[in-house]
Structure formats: C-alpha cells, structure tokens
C-alpha cells in the first residue's frame, strides 16, 4: 500500500507524457499567449532583459507578462518537448504532494482519492501539454497552500514552514497575476490554528503575508522603474475592457463577444489583435481601459453580476474540449472564443456538440471528465455539510481549500473565462472533495501501511472530534 501514491503519481506523469510521442507538437502552442511567452524566454536568453525578442530585435521592457513562466521556459532553451516533459513531471509531483499530505494527516483512502482526481483531470492533462503557465502555477499554488495548512496541524518548525509557504506563494504571484490575493489567503490557516501559541501564530502569519507581498512590490517597482507603470501587470486592464465590459455589452445586444470587441477597439483606438503587443503597453493605455471598463460595469451592475455567476459556473462545470481535440489530433475543435463568451446561445452549444460527437474518442473523454467533475463537487458539498459537526482541522481543510479554489475561479469569471483556469485549483478542490468522500479517521491498518500515522502528525485531535460527532 505504501507504493500506491507513488504508482498513481507515475501514472499521472505517464499520461501527461503520452502526447509527446507525436512528432507534431503544434498543439502545444496557443496563439498569442504561447508565442509571447517564448519571445520573452528568447529575450531573457539573448540579453534583452525581461523583454521580448521579436523579429531579431529586443522589444520595449515587458509590463504585461510576469517573469515566472518565461524564466522557466528560458531554462530549456528552444526545446518545447523538454518544457512539456518537465510540466508532465510536475503534474506527477502535485499528485504525490496531495496524496502524502491528505494520506498522512487523515487517511489513505482520502489521499488516494484526491490523487486520482488530479491524475485524471483533463484540463490539467491538456495544460501540461501547452506552453502556458497553468502547470507551473498549479505546482506553486498547491505547495503554498498545503504548507500553510501543515503549519496548523504540525506546529514543529512553524516559522520555517511558513517561510517556504510564503516563498511558493511569491513564486505564484510572479507566475500568474491572479495570485495577488495569496498574501491575504495564506495567513488564514496560520491565524486560525489552535495548536500554535499566540506569538508564534502571529509571527508565522506575518511571514506568510510578507514574502509574497515583497515579491509583488519588487516586481511592481520594477515595472514603475522601466515604464512608469505602478502595478504587477497590465493584463487586468485588458481583461476589464476587452473581456468584462465588452462581454456585458455583447450580452445586452445579444451578439458575440468578438463583435462587441470590434466596437470597443474603435473607441480605444487600439485593435484587440494588437492589444497584447509590447509596443502598445503603457500606463496611460491601462488607465484608459480601466476607466472605460469600470464605466460599463458601473452602468450595468446586474448584468455584470449575471456575467460573473454564469462564467464562474462555466469554469466550475464545463469540460475542456477544443484544446483536448487538438492534443489528441481528432476533430471536435472549434475556433473563436469559448461558449461562455458573449450572449448565451443554444445554437452555439448545438454546433459544439455536433462537432464533438464527430469524434468517439473525444466524446468518451468529455463524458469521463463530466463524471469526474460531478464526483468532485458532490465530495466538496458533502465535506462542507459535515463541517457543521466537526469544528476543527477538518473544517479548516475543507472550507479553506474549497473557498480558495472557488475564489480563484470567480476572480477569473468574465468574458475571458476559459476551462484552463480551473486546472491550477484542481488539487485544492480534489483534496476538499476527497475529505468529503472519505471523512473517517485513518484506521491503524492504513497508518501501518506506510503513510505517516495520524498520531505523529498532530492530526489526532481532529480525528477524535470526528469520531465523537458520528
């Protein structure tokens, strides 16, 4: 039994490595995003600083993309295949991290269940095979939150563990700007821990807050120094104008998001096709997009709320389809924005389903993903319901992981919502779901099979409370 978590992690890595057997890796390059990341990696390697190398010359200093993923790409030179291989291995590492943590602190069944949900999660598998930041972000995010929770259940070396949690959170901030909320999320389990004495609790929480905040401040200062932009990234302004505000208008007019963006481009004076170019990024443009975008949101608050709720549901439930079809080399991929973008349309859904049904393999995998997604949310719901009777570590783990995962999806819920945004939070949701499906404490037999016995982790108190609540 002690080898089961390792075996599942190896299977997860093998599944993610399998697409590399194809000679054509064009499926790994997502238009715009992947090429911009690669241009930044080339710029780093060829002495441009943190700027894109395009057309043989260095572009202006980058203030759109953050440095974490381009630096990771630069380590592998021009080899996309090695990048994807490293991302596949990271997927296996994430599986093992979650399994060892849940299995050691609660029970083997829950650890294995969480690991299986991550191992066979199709968005995670697909994103590990694209030159995109999701896989690296998933690893940093998972490590940061697991370490923060471990401080509460294993007080020994609390300061050192909190420092490592903060370091991973700082890395996550520099990989994806949406991680800007981590300085506020990370101290929560530390402050709520009843096993740490007050001074140690405050010190650990302060460290977990300070390290990612320092990363945020350092990179924002760099952006101000090179371009007078006082922020982490201009991507928030682009999303606000060309996705959130434009999507509200598209829904009101009953048109596609692409059509609404065309009118927004005329107002801004910068076509959407050029908005990600390094040459047009500036503090002034970001301010204009934020101002005009917020005006639309403030004018139509109910439509903005409806858009956010629908996009969040889409992120939580929708299967990944077009990128999966491209990775498999089958039909079923469609061009353009996702089904969430613009006014809801049964016609678009029908066309997507007809395209998907043309590939039996794609249809079967999407059905499998739908089933696993259903299990995921049923497990989370069961865990949250049980929390009313178990006011201790179990409650903190389930609520903290579920809320953190949902919050990160809600922050990405707009016209830009893409199923790939679910991949980074899958380990958090899978852990919460596994605890909901297997809430019983670890039997002695499980502890003796190789995972850390609960009595040695500091988790025994919560086990007794669960037993008493039954």
pLDDT in tens, the chain (470 residues): 678 999 999 999 999 999 999 999 999 998 789 999 999 999 999 999 999 999 899 999 999 999 999 999 999 988 999 999 999 999 999 999 999 989 888 889 999 999 999 999 999 999 999 999 999 999 999 999 999 998 866 667 889 999 999 999 999 999 999 999 999 999 999 998 878 888 999 999 999 999 999 999 999 999 999 999 999 999 999 999 999 999 999 988 888 888 899 999 999 999 999 999 999 999 999 999 999 999 999 999 999 999 999 999 999 999 999 999 999 999 877 776 777 777 777 877 888 888 888 899 999 999 999 999 999 999 999 999 988 777 677 888 899 999 999 999 999 998 888 999 999 999 999 999 999 999 876 543 343 333 333 333 445 444 444 444 44
Of 215, 200, 276, the residue nearest 241 (C-alpha): 276
Cβ(59)–Cβ(81) below 8 Å: no
**Residue 292 exposed, middle or buried by CB count within 10 Å (0-12, 13-18, 19+):** middle
Q: Which two tokens stand for residue 446?
A: 């499980």
Element (H or E) spanning 59, and its range? strand 57-61
Distance CA(52)–CA(40), nearest Å, equals 4
Q: Which two tokens stand for residue 272?
A: 């959407």
Distance CA(349)–CA(73), nearest Å, equals 36
Per-residue pLDDT at 421: 95
Per-residue pLDDT at 223: 97
Cβ(143)–Cβ(112) below 8 Å: no
Q: Which two tokens stand for residue 205?
A: 């929480």
Per-residue pLDDT at 311: 92
pTM of the model: 0.92
Per-residue pLDDT at 452: 38
Residue with token string 């852990």: 431
Per-residue pLDDT at 461: 45
Residue 315 CA, distance from chain mean position: 11
Per-residue pLDDT at 336: 67
Residue 210 CA, distance from chain mean position: 22
Per-residue pLDDT at 442: 55
Cβ(321)–Cβ(356) below 8 Å: yes
Per-residue pLDDT at 198: 87
């Amino acid at each position: 039994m002690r080898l089961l978590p390792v075996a599942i992690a190896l299977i997860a890595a093998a599944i993610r490595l399998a697409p590399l057997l194809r000679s054509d890796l064009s499926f790994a390059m997502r238009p715009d995003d992947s090429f911009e990341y690669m241009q930044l990696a080339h710029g780093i390697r060829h002495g441009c600083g943190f700027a894109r190398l395009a057309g043989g010359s260095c572009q202006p200093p980058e203030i759109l993309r953050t440095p974490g993923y381009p630096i990771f790409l630069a380590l592998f030179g021009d080899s996309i295949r090695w990048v994807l291989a490293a991302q596949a291995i990271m997927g296996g590492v994430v599986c093992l991290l979650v399994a060892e943590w849940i299995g050691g602190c609660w029970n083997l069944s829950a650890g294995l269940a969480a690991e299986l949900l991550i191992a066979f999660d199709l968005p995670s598998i697909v994103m590990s095979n694209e030159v995109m930041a999701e896989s690296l972000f998933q690893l940093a995010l998972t490590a940061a939150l697991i370490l923060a929770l471990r401080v509460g259940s294993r007080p020994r070396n609390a300061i050192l563990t909190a420092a490592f949690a903060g370091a991973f959170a700082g890395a996550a901030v520099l990989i994806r700007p949406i991680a800007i909320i981590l300085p506020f999320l990370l101290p929560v389990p530390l402050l709520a821990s009843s096993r740490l004495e007050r001074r140690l609790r405050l010190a650990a929480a302060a460290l977990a807050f300070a390290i990612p905040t320092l990363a945020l401040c350092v990179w924002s200062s760099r952006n101000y120094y090179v371009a007078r932009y006082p922020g982490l990234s201009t991507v928030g302004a682009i999303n606000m104008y060309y996705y959130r505000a434009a999507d509200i208008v598209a829904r009101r007019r009953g048109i596609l998001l692409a059509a609404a963006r065309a009118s927004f481009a005329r107002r801004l004076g910068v076509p959407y096709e050029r908005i990600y170019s390094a040459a047009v990024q500036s503090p002034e443009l970001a301010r204009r997009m934020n101002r005009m975008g917020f005006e639309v949101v403030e004018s139509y608050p109910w439509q903005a709320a409806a858009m956010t709720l629908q996009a969040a549901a889409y992120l939580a439930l929708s299967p990944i389809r077009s990128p999966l079809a491209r990775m498999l080399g089958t039909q079923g991929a469609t061009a353009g924005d996702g089904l969430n973008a613009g006014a809801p349309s049964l016609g678009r859904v029908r066309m997507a389903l007809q395209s998907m049904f043309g590939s039996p393999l794609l249809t079967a995998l999407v059905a499998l993903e739908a089933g696993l997604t259903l299990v995921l949310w049923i497990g989370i719901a069961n865990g949250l319901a049980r929390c009313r009777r178990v006011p201790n570590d179990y409650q903190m783990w389930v609520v903290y992981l579920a809320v953190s995962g949902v919050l990160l999806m809600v922050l990405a819920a707009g016209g830009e919502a893409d199923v790939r945004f679910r991949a980074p939070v899958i380990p958090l949701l899978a852990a919460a779901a596994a605890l909901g499906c297997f809430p019983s404490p670890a039997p002695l037999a499980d502890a003796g099979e190789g995972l850390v016995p609960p009595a040695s982790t500091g988790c025994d108190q919560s086990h007794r409370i669960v037993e008493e609540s039954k």
